[in-house]
Copies of this chain bind each other. A is one copy, B any other.
């Protein structure tokens, strides 16, 4: 069998069975959450997350070098945000073609530096290799307090489901680029300039029961929290925050709003669950910081359901962005 047939989900299952982090003391969370979590000798947790950005997979030709650098930083930090962590630093290992202009590489680096600075953190080391395809692997590390760590596994029936910002916009932007449509600046910016939701993660950490980022799509994220927490979800379509221009763009690119919102990914927002009695405290915290939070549904015992704007109830499919399979439909084994 080839990896292309196995797919990302199958490969992660295989790797999880091989890498036995239970051999090592001090590993609180290993493969299967946004970041690995290790207990620090002096208390608190060390978070570590690594992500590769590939020229051919993730980088549209329209991205400026500065945007490429900022993208790599934000992708890496988004996993720290999803755990409720505070960023501590980043290292980058980069494969660069020898034929690349020094100016282009320098502009990528300046984009990285500016993005790290925006989030109050630093690039502290790295490695460079010569190779054919531009490949940027960022490893972000962060810290979390012992009572401020959000996992994918903590949701309980009755908890409320929240997101931190508008969904579907990044995918609408990617489709606009593919279709060569102009005048969709907001959506294209959402696609090319994602921002790690570190302030939102930190504000949620003391209240939320579970969290993850939505970069692979809302549907896959709901299924993932459901699977890790042993719960289901019910989402109300009319409560999902979308940009007022999304419907028009969806029409122009020929992809439905529901498809963009649930199944295409690219929105680096956070999906989190919060016990109902803690919701108002969480909302107050977000308001005080000037951050957005939207309640879009409830955690249930099982199944993943969508209540549409027409009042119908339908299943939320388990599909979204998967390495090796892209946007292909993947069925639950």
Contact = CB atoms under 8 A, between A and B. Distances in A.
Nearest to A2: B99
A5 to B, nearest CB: 8
B3 A129 contact: no
A135 B3 contact: no
Contact of A135 (B5, B36, B112, B135): B135
Interface stretch (A42-50, A159-167, A231-239, A280-288): A42-50
Interface residues of A, number: 81
Interface in A27-68: 27, 30-31, 35-36, 38, 40-44, 46, 48-52, 54, 56-57
A100 B5 CA distance: 10
A46 B129 CA distance: 24
Interface stretch (A13-21, A241-249, A253-261, A289-297): A13-21
A94 B116 CA distance: 23
A178 interface: no
Interface string A140-166: 010100000000000000000000000
B127 A4 contact: no
A311 to B, nearest CB: 40
A29 to B, nearest CB: 8
Interface in A88-117: 88-89, 91-103, 105-106, 109-110, 112-113, 116-117
Contacts of A314: none
Contact of A54 (B15, B51, B91, B131): B131
Interface stretch (A118-126, A184-192, A218-226): A118-126
Contact of A36 (B14, B52, B89): B89
A323 interface: yes
Contact of A48 (B23, B100, B125, B135): B125
Given A41-B43, A49-B91, 8 more contacts: A1-B102, A3-B97, A18-B110, A30-B124, A38-B88, A46-B88, A51-B93, A57-B129
